[in-house]
Amino acid sequence: MIFSKQFDKELLEHLGNVATMIRDIASTKDGYKFLISLLFHKRAMLYFTQASTRTFLSFMAALQILGISWSEIRDPSVSSEYKGESPLDSMRMFSSYCDIIIMRSKIPDFAECCAYLMNDLDDFNQRNVPIINGGAGADEHPTQALLDIYTIQREFAFVSKKDSSKWTLFDELRKKYPGLKRGLDGKVYGFCGDVGRGRTVRSLTNLLSQYDDMTFYFVSPDHPKLKLPANFKNELLDQGVDVKEYDDLNEIVDKVDMLYMTRIQHEHDSAEDKEFFKKLDYSKYYLSKDKVERMKDYAAILHPFPRDTRAKEIPAEIDNDPRAKYFAQARNGIWIRAALIAYLFDADGKIASHYQKHFSDYHDYNVEVL
């Protein structure tokens, strides 16, 4: 599982449903017992040699929920790579000790190389295991895109715990926004910040561009490394997405249905870039209470996190606004990663049967059935 493009709409809806079933099942003690019995005979390796908090911990939580035990390597200097072992040899060793490898590396193609190594081993009838890419260089972060999509599926279902036979959130919203429809199609998505160097934006837009009637607004400083790369823009246009670029968040804030904020990835700056940033008016790419007040009532504010608290692209005073979804988004990572692992090990069918037996109201993010 290396690229976001490996997921089609049908699979995204399926994984979203499995994630919600796992979430509901895990909320009871008996349900949790069922989940941890599913894959207790499997072992995982978490090989994270690039900084990570949320991806690492939420994968670990997902493994715990499915009863999978794990080993971890976070610092290659304490592994045999220090003695000159090649990372590919290490990877083959891991595949003999565990049943799945979840990895993050600063080398963009490394997860892909490992997946090809596993394919070659398969051709030679040698032991091999699935690889999940937990973030590859500046390239791809497909499981972040999964949790982003899952968050948007949940938000754009417009379902509330307060829904009753007399009042629903959706009907209430439709009074003010009569054209509002459920689901991801036909919405306006804003992406703001470092859209050139952030891997999460690339992976998420790859997935979103599969939906119909999509509009993407990109807001970034006018710098060749930070703005939308031309080849990436052309790909989106080829997919039929309506793409527009802006230099100030103010221009789009009242138009978007979802706003995906990102931090400026200063760790990739060259000396020249640092000069550029000295003169930059950052306020054009940052949220403020005033800007949030101009957003649609139902618009969702997402951020892959970490946010840069020195820079304040999202000031903490916004955190309790009902539109701020970034903490819920991070938590969604547990359930969707558990759903992905269950799917890879073919345990999703058992989860669905258990769910149908024990929970009456079946969730489906497929808009046709909503």
* Residues at the contact surface with ligand NCD, assessed by CB under 6 A: 54-55, 135, 141, 144, 198-200, 263, 304-305
Helix then strand count (H, E) for the chain reads 13, 9
Nearer to ligand NCD, 9 or 54 (CB): 54
Neighbours of 27 (CB within 10 A): 10
Burial class for 297, CB neighbours closer than 10 Å (0-12, 13-18, 19+): exposed
Nearer to ligand NCD, 25 or 219 (CB): 219
Nearer to ligand NCD, 67 or 304 (CB): 304
CB of 99 to ligand NCD, least distance (A): 24
CA distance 44 to 42: 7
Segments in the chain forming alpha helices (H): 9-25, 29-38, 54-65, 87-97, 110-123, 142-155, 169-176, 199-208, 230-238, 271-279, 289-293, 326-344, 348-358
Name the nearest CA neighbour of 292 among 328, 321, 263.
Answer: 321
CB of 327 to ligand NCD, least distance (A): 12
Phi/psi for 91 (5° steps) reads: -60, -40
Nearer to ligand NCD, 183 or 304 (CB): 304
Name the nearest CA neighbour of 6 among 139, 182, 203.
Answer: 203
CB of 187 to ligand NCD, least distance (A): 22
Nearer to ligand NCD, 54 or 284 (CB): 54
CB of 189 to ligand NCD, least distance (A): 17
Phi/psi for 66 (5° steps) reads: -95, 5
- Which pair of tokens denotes residue 145? 């895109």
**By three-state DSSP, how is residue 35 classified?**
helix
CB of 76 to ligand NCD, least distance (A): 18
Nearer to ligand NCD, 53 or 80 (CB): 53
CB of 98 to ligand NCD, least distance (A): 22
